[in-house]
Amino acid sequence: MTADAGSSGLGGGWVTAHVGPRGFRADISAGDHALVADEPRAAGGTDEGPTPYELLLAALGACTAMTLRMYADRKKWPLEDVRVLLRSSRSHERDCENCEREEVGIHRVERKLELSGSLTDEQRQRLEEIADRCPVKQTMQREIRVESVP
């Protein structure tokens, strides 16, 4: 059985990442979509894409924004624009260098929401609460097992 990179968009499809014999650039495919991850030039990469930690933050930001949009649309609230800003002080390159000797990873993410539209204070407060319910945030706050399969 081969690992099929295709996906119906409903989960279960393989996401693939490939790194060649030199450098850190990873070519990623998810269904019909292509992405690139890399390390900064200062870390020996070519800086052709975000670092894996930046991609993790991007997944969280995208999920948060989409969750808020879906909620506001269902409620017919006047949410015009959502911007989610995220940051972490961890360096993926530094963590890669130390992963054999110590526990590494992102331990804290700072998030800022910017909501545009003629929302009431109560609607803004509720959207802040809903941001904490996004599926990626909930996933990140649980233990995830990564298992190698044949």
Same domain, yes or no: 86 and 125: yes
Residue 83 within any structural domain of the chain: yes
Question: Can you give the pTM of this predicted structure?
Answer: 0.87
Same domain, yes or no: 33 and 66: no
Mean pLDDT of 2-21: 74
Residue 6 within any structural domain of the chain: yes
Same domain, yes or no: 58 and 73: yes
- Pick the residue with more confidence: 92 or 65? 65
Separation CA 39–CA 52 (nearest Å) = 8
Separation CA 150–CA 147 (nearest Å) = 10
The alpha carbon dihedral of 68, 69, 74, 80 has a sign of positive
Same domain, yes or no: 40 and 54: no
Mean pLDDT of 5-28: 83
Residue 2 pLDDT > 90: no
pLDDT score of 92: 82
Q: Residue 8: give the domain boundaries.
A: 1-45
- Pick the residue with more confidence: 84 or 3? 84
C-alpha closest to that of 17 among 6, 25, 5, 26? 26
Which strands, in side-by-side order, build the sheet including 33-37? Answer: 15-19, 26-30, 33-37
Same domain, yes or no: 38 and 56: no
Separation CA 51–CA 26 (nearest Å) = 10
- Count how many domains the chain has: 2
Q: Are 106 and 56 a contacting pair, CB within 8 Å? A: yes
Same domain, yes or no: 96 and 39: no
pLDDT score of 1: 35
- Tens of pLDDT along 79-97? 999 999 999 987 888 888 8
- Pick the residue with more confidence: 143 or 25? 25
What are 136's two structure tokens?
């990626």
Q: Dmax of the chain from CA atoms? A: 55
- Pick the residue with more confidence: 83 or 107? 83
AA letter at 81: D
Residue 3 pLDDT > 70: no
Confidence of residue 49 (pLDDT cuts 50, 70, 90): very high
Same domain, yes or no: 111 and 127: yes
Residue 148 within any structural domain of the chain: no
pLDDT score of 75: 98
Residue 118 within any structural domain of the chain: yes
